[in-house]
Structure 1
Amino acid sequence: MAKDHAARIRQGYSAYAETDTLASLIKKELQICNLRVYEDLTEFGCWFIPVTDEH
């Protein structure tokens, strides 16, 4: 599931993790893929929003 989320982020879409465990796995996958994201941590989960070089 973490790889699926990383693939969506690579395509420019945001991804959401409802649990700390999934968020941790996504973070590891993002590091492996060298993808930059903005993490929006809420009380309900964590959004991973891709960071682009475009302004």
Structure 2
Amino acid sequence: MVISRREMARAKVKKLKKGFSAFSETQEITELMERYIKEEKLNVHVDKTSLGCWFIPADGTEHETRPHS
């Protein structure tokens, strides 16, 4: 099964738009995500590490994890 890197990057940006963090493992996906984030004018904090890159919504809309009842 072939997974399009563009589709993968767009799916991760879609998660960001919903307020969830996203992680990119490769430089190619990171660059695509940065381009799509710029196009969408999203307010995102980027944390680059040696293992990959975290994209975190910077407007405080990230969903909190709640325990199941």
Judge same fold: TM > 0.5, yes or no: yes
CA distance in 2 between partners of 1:23 and 1:36 (Å): 16
Give the equivalent residue in structure 1 for 2:9.
2
Give the equivalent residue in structure 2 for 1:16.
23
Work out the number of aligned pairs and report it.
54
Tell me, which stretches of 5 or more residues in structure 1 are unaligned? none
CA distance in 2 between partners of 1:34 and 1:13 (Å): 16
**AA matched with 1:49:** I
Q: 1:53 to 1:15 in 2, by over 3 A?
A: closer
**AA matched with 1:48:** F
Q: Which runs of 4+ in 1 moved over 2 A?
A: none
Two-structure CA RMSD over aligned residues (Å): 1.3
Greater Rg by CA: 2
Give TM-score, length-normalised by structure 2: 0.73
**AA matched with 2:24:** A
- Structure 1 residue 16, shift from structure 2 partner: 0.3
Identity of aligned residues (%): 33
Query: Larger relative contact order (C-alpha < 8 A, sep ≥ 6)?
Result: 1
CA distance in 1 between partners of 2:60 and 2:54 (Å): 19
- Structure 1 residue 52, shift from structure 2 partner: 0.6
